[in-house]
Structure 1
Amino acid sequence: MNKNKSPNLASTLNTSIDRRRFLSGSLATGAALGAGSLMSGNVMAMSPQKGGTLRVGFTQGATSDSTDPATFNNDFMFTYAYGVFNNLTEIAPDGSLVPELAQSWQATPDAKTWTFNLRHGIQFHNGKELNSQDVIASINHHRGEKSKSSAKPLLADIASIKAVDTYTVEIQLTGGNADFPFIFSQYNLVIHPSNGNGIDTSSMNGTGAYKVKRFEPGVGALYQRNENYWKEGRAHLDEIEIILISDPAARLNALTTGEVDLIDRPDLKTLHLLKRRKGLRVEQTTGTKHYTLPMLSDVAPYNDNNVRQALKYAIDRQEMVDKILKGYGVVGNDHPIGPAMPFFNNELKQREYDADKSRFYLKKAGLNKLDIKLNLADSAWGNDTVNAGVLFSETSAKAGINIEVVREPNDGYWSNVWLKKPFCASYWGGRPTADWMFTTAYADGVSWNESRWSHEKFNQLLVSARSELNQERRREMYFDMQSMVHDEGSTIIPMFGNYVIAMNDKVQHGQIASNWDLDGLRFMERWWVS
């Protein structure tokens, strides 16, 4: 990768999905997100080995973490979900959608009725056999009137759900959704056993590769292999220990001293030193992760799109990639659809730093200057978020925009700042489809619409594109939606970052998924130690 110059998003080719196969095939093939893992060949070539313990130094996790799947909001809990439980569907390392607890599915031609056929003989850790009622209870847990689950808007189109028989579930939608099976690969839509009145949210009884031996929110967790795991060629490790180490220097030190074998989100400023250490290596994956600066669109001055445009032109994206990501990423274009995703708009002109144009929009808003606060904590982007804010303040000052960077505590940032302060920072692991990403964070009124942006035409197109089966028409709709977010949205997206991890040479794996960090956060069942 060229660290000196980040590729323009618009230079990347668009991809498409074969919907006919997706709707009718027993093994549904989704859109490949683009295998982007950069690693040494011997890692890919080694055969999995059984046994051993993997110790992982993790960035995210909080004392407030709950085992209620409706509340999952960080990588510590996502890992718990994928390690202890299973989903109906799974995103494979090559980016395709494959069966997990559902061995197959079918849809009517209008994509409004979906039938999921469950595997037979799958057992929860306590010996109970999986059935249709478990699936229905797990899905309905997120659909309740009082539910605040991030999955709720993804399930809003469900009109009815019923058990056809012990191993068959039928879901009727209010409108067609060509991507519907993708939704069930989400971390909080894992399947719990039904207790006859829903699910027990405190239960750690899953069908997954690992059982919980110790679970301490804000501290860590210890997992032990499920010896009766139903997937062949998975669950190689005897035990996996997750240790929460939020400080990047301490996390790196834990790796270099041998306290842990693997760390996520290493400090990019020190990677050049890490690469010199014998027995350690750094790997990166190009995927969907992006960094955002959301502005609450219903709060002045951000309720004026001219102000939002002025801020979008006042940030030097390339400088951010070079100095904050150290070249481990590409410039963003103020919409969340990454170049590896289906329907990426490769025709949209890349927005670049332009102080004169920023001043132009400021004057259109009736302002000669602008004084604002940007509330940041380093935990918002994982590393160097506050320094990124300082860089932004320096470039924006040339356009007459004075940004006061307010450093917030790392602890409590996501509950006290994000979604509450008018201008802050966030990041997204991204989603495998455009509909999923837009529905989660840009649709009107959804709980994770971090800028409270509301756009009537965008919301109409979002619903229409979801049920559109003509590929060319669907492409046009998603291109239009990306343009709307780019031109009128209330979120600055300066960068797409690579997923970067560091580990010792004992840690081994095959092809890495690019839909999330750490192999789509499924490293627990896919990786092994030599």
Structure 2
Amino acid sequence: MVERPDLSRRDALCGLGAASALSLLPEAAAAAPRRGGRIRVATISSSTADTLDPAKGGLSTDYVRHFMVYSGLTQFTDSMAPRLALAEAIETSDRIRWRVRLRKGVAFHDGAPLTSADVVYSLLRHKQPALGSKVKTIADQIVEAKAVGPHEVELQLSGPNADLPAILATSHFLIVKDGTRDFRTANGTGPFRCRAFNPGVRTIVSRNPNYWKPGAPYLDEIELIGIPDEVSRVNALLSGDVQLIQSVNPRSTRRIAATRRHVMMETRSGLYTDLIMRQDRTPTSHPNFVLAMKHLFDRELIRKALYRGYAVVANDQPIPPGHPYYLAGLPQRAHDPDRARFLLKQAGLLNLRLPVYASPAADGSVDMASILQEQAARIGLRLAVNRVPSDGYWSNHWMKHPLTFGNTNPRPTADLVFSLFYKSDAAWNESGWKNARFDQLLLAARAEADETRRKQIYGDMQALVHDHGGVAIPVFISNLDAHTHRLKGLRPIPAGGLMAYSFAEYVWLEG
């Protein structure tokens, strides 16, 4: 196939009236890497729920693990455009029916060749309710997937969606071997082979000598561990016990930089920690309570004091500034305790005592909860902050109480953000918010070919979340990773820290 320059999303994916195709996009230029060496990487979490099944990945540690051992049909460029990976071509004329042609000569770690049957199985398994896929509501768009040759697949969606190539680049849609049900180990086509997997302890992978990208990867071995406590994570880096860490607290940046042997990497993104007000509980379902809590957030204080400027003020809409579909016209919601008090008094909700659950697992939530508690006390609302450990927070507390904190990793498209976290039937609809108009607009945005109109629809959806949604989003947080100066090849990708969790195939150790 002839390579072409990077294409805009509209040019590459949204052409109507003639077939549109996703072309092979060149890798970013880089200095010549050195082969060999081993590193240890510490992420923010590790538990017995760790998984090698990409469909069930729920935390950044899972995403990192999955990108090490599996490949997808597409991957993201540094600018978040999808590029071809296991797919050699992806074509559509109406954004409903898609034809995917696979690369030839790609092999799984067990030596079996990649075929269309593997792709069909990997995509359709998400639709099985018993599997528990984290992206079932996304995969339900796939009405049919069928092999039309050993290396060709036809997909039919329930409606047009120009974002399909971007969706297929996310970790959940990585390709597994046809019929795989046992994920105690991994058999993928990714840059590394799984050598050891002990949930809650560690994952060890070794270089795949038959990786389909010539020359990559460069490291011989990577060990992935979880260190939930940030101070311990930083100490492990500075002592040389690990060579790369995720999610550095802004307060630690000067300490790391002072060593002159370590490097900070900031990735501006759509990461946010949100206050979740369940819409199926009282008093958090009362509209006055929701609006009052949104007015209690001192967003500028959070940006400066908690994140040392490594954040931008948010406005209770989940699409960040700088995103193509960001709605800039919403008036910024102000820190207004008097307004919050009025709303609570009007609803008869003053002088309540209400627990709020926070954890180091949700970045900054403990400090946010303390700030919120102090602001609430001044207007007669008593918030009792329950700080719970990182271990088990997501399974035992997140979304389980009327008032909790969440932490949402960036997603590459507006459709994924809204589909995963705000659609009425989404598994991760944190507040249980249900809005029929929002759901209708979500489907309309997928089908809209005109980019101006599509942006308007996504703007209307952001306005609905801002005005009526059950979450408060005070700031968008930069991802801060740190590594030894000998580790090269890292660069920011806005979909998340650690190069959108896909660092493993790109990095190398300087001699």
Task: Give the match's secondary structure for 2:429.
Answer: coil
Partner of 1:342: 324
Distance 2:153 2:244 in 1: 39
- State the Cα distance separating 1:347 from its structure 2 match: 1.2
Does the alignment pair 1:127 with 2:107? Answer: no
Does the alignment pair 1:412 with 2:392? Answer: yes
Highest relative contact order (Cα 8 Å, sep 6+), 1 or 2? 1
* Cα pair distance change 1:107/1:199, threshold 3 Å: farther
CA contact (8 A) 1:46 1:508 kept: no
Correspondence 1:239-250 to 2 at 5 A: 239-250=221-232
CA contact (8 A) 1:21 1:29 kept: no
Distance 1:29 1:209 in 2: 19
Partner of 1:277: 259
Task: Give the match's secondary structure for 1:188.
Answer: helix
1:253-305 per-residue CA deviation (whole Å, 9 max, x = no partner) reads 11111111111112322221221112112121111211111111111112221
Partner of 1:442: 422
Task: Give the match's secondary structure for 1:240.
Answer: strand
Partner of 2:91: 106
Task: Give the match's secondary structure for 1:288.
Answer: strand
Distance 2:106 2:12 in 1: 27
CA contact (8 A) 2:291 2:340 kept: yes
Partner of 2:164: 180
The residue identity in structure 1 corresponding to 2:90 is W
Give the counterpart of 2:455 among 464, 468, 475.
475
1:429-473 per-residue CA deviation (whole Å, 9 max, x = no partner) reads 121111110000100111111110001111111111111111111
Percent of aligned pairs with the same residue?
Answer: 34
The residue identity in structure 2 corresponding to 1:98 is R
- State the Cα distance separating 1:502 from its structure 2 match: 1.2
Task: Give the match's secondary structure for 2:196.
Answer: strand
- State the Cα distance separating 1:29 from its structure 2 match: 9.3
Correspondence 1:253-402 to 2 at 5 A: 253-381=235-363, 384-402=364-382
CA contact (8 A) 1:138 1:199 kept: no
* Cα pair distance change 1:351/1:234, threshold 3 Å: farther
Partner of 1:522: 502
Instruction: Compute the TM-score of the two structures, normalised by the length of structure 1.
Output: 0.90
Give the counterpart of 1:484 among 464, 471, 482.
464
1:57-78 per-residue CA deviation (whole Å, 9 max, x = no partner) reads 2221212223233321112221
Task: Give the match's secondary structure for 2:472.
Answer: strand
- State the Cα distance separating 1:492 from its structure 2 match: 0.7
- State the Cα distance separating 1:351 from its structure 2 match: 1.2
The residue identity in structure 1 corresponding to 2:21 is S
Does the alignment pair 1:142 with 2:126? Answer: yes
- State the Cα distance separating 1:25 from its structure 2 match: 4.1
Task: Give the match's secondary structure for 1:498.
Answer: strand
1:479-510 per-residue CA deviation (whole Å, 9 max, x = no partner) reads 01001100100001111110101111101115
Distance 2:399 2:381 in 1: 23
Task: Give the match's secondary structure for 2:65.
Answer: helix
1:402-437 per-residue CA deviation (whole Å, 9 max, x = no partner) reads 211111222111110012111111111121111110
Does the alignment pair 1:60 with 2:60? Answer: no
The answer to which of 372-381 and 514-523 deviates more is 372-381
Task: Give the match's secondary structure for 1:54.
Answer: strand
Instruction: Compute the TM-score of the two structures, normalised by the length of structure 2.
Output: 0.93
Partner of 1:493: 473
Structure 2 gaps, min length 5:
1-6
Does the alignment pair 1:88 with 2:73? Answer: yes
Does the alignment pair 1:51 with 2:36? Answer: yes
Does the alignment pair 1:504 with 2:504? Answer: no
Task: Give the match's secondary structure for 2:344.
Answer: helix
Partner of 2:3: none
Give the counterpart of 2:174 among 182, 187, 190.
190
The residue identity in structure 2 corresponding to 1:328 is Y
Structure 1 gaps, min length 5:
1-15, 36-43
Runs of 4+ in 1 over 6 A off after TM superposition: none
Distance 1:465 1:134 in 2: 30
Say how many residue pairs are matched.
498
Does the alignment pair 1:160 with 2:144? Answer: yes
Task: Give the match's secondary structure for 1:379.
Answer: coil
- State the Cα distance separating 1:20 from its structure 2 match: 4.2
Distance 1:105 1:477 in 2: 26
Task: Give the match's secondary structure for 1:223.
Answer: strand
* Cα pair distance change 1:304/1:485, threshold 3 Å: same
Partner of 2:58: 73
Give the counterpart of 2:217 among 211, 227, 235.
235
Distance 2:296 2:46 in 1: 33
The residue identity in structure 1 corresponding to 2:312 is V
CA contact (8 A) 1:336 1:430 kept: no
Distance 2:490 2:388 in 1: 39
Does the alignment pair 1:457 with 2:437? Answer: yes
* Cα pair distance change 1:511/1:245, threshold 3 Å: closer
CA contact (8 A) 2:205 2:221 kept: yes
Distance 2:352 2:460 in 1: 30
